[in-house]
Amino acid sequence: MIELGKYAGTVAAAYGASVLLLAGVILQTIRANARARRELEEHENRG
Amino acid sequence: MSIWEYANPVKFMRTSGAVLPWAVAGAAICTVAGLVWGFLTPLDYKQGATVKIIFLHVPAALMAINIWLMMLVTSLIWLIRRHHVSALAAKAAAPVGAVMTLIALITGAIWGQPMWGTWWEWDPRLTSFLILFLFYLGYMALWEAVENPDSAADLTSVLCLVGSVFALLSRYAVNFWNQGLHQGASLSLAPGERMAAVYRYPLYLTMAGFFLLFVALLLIRTRTEIRRRRLAALLAREMRK
Domain count, chain A: 1
For residue B138, pLDDT over 80 is answered with: yes
Q: CA A21 to CA B17: how far, in whole Å?
A: 25
Q: Are B136 and B101 in contact (CB under 8 A)?
A: yes
Q: What φ, ψ does residue B161 adopt, rounded to 5°?
A: -60, -45
Residue A40 CB: number of other CB atoms within 10 A? 17
Which pLDDT tens digit goes with each residue over B60-99? 999 999 999 999 999 999 999 999 999 999 999 999 999 9
Does the beta-carbon distance from A22 to B53 stay under 8 Å? no
Does the beta-carbon distance from A4 to B49 stay under 8 Å? yes
Does the beta-carbon distance from A43 to B107 stay under 8 Å? no
Nearest chain B Cα distance for residue A27, angstroms: 10
Range of the domain at A39: 4-45
Quick one: how far is CA B111 from the chain centroid?
21
Identify all chain B residues contacting A37, using CB atoms and an 8 Å cutoff: 224, 227
Does the beta-carbon distance from A14 to B43 stay under 8 Å? no
Short-list B214, B229, B87, CA closest to B159: B87
Confidence (pLDDT) at A47? 67
Please name the residues in contact with A5: beta carbons below 8 A apart, sequence gap of 6 or more. B43, B48, B49
Q: CA B99 to CA B119: how far, in whole Å?
A: 19
For residue B237, pLDDT over 90 is answered with: no
Q: Provide the 3-class DSSP secondary structure of residue B41.
A: coil
Q: Are B54 and B203 in contact (CB under 8 A)?
A: yes
Q: What percent of chain A has pLDDT over 70?
A: 96
| Region A11-27 average pLDDT | 96
Could you give the domains of chain B?
17-240 (1.20.120)
Q: Is A25 on the interface with B (CB under 8 A)?
A: yes
Would the ipTM clear 0.90, i.e. be above it?
yes
Does the beta-carbon distance from B107 to A14 stay under 8 Å? yes
> Which helix (H) or strand (E) is B104 found in, with range?
helix B84-116
Does the beta-carbon distance from B43 to A5 stay under 8 Å? yes
Identify all chain A residues contacting B40, using CB atoms and an 8 Å cutoff: 2
Short-list B226, B98, B201, B91, CA closest to B157: B91
Q: CA B35 to CA B23: how far, in whole Å?
A: 18
Mutant choice from A4, A18, A19, A43 vs B, greatest count of B C-beta within 10 A: A18
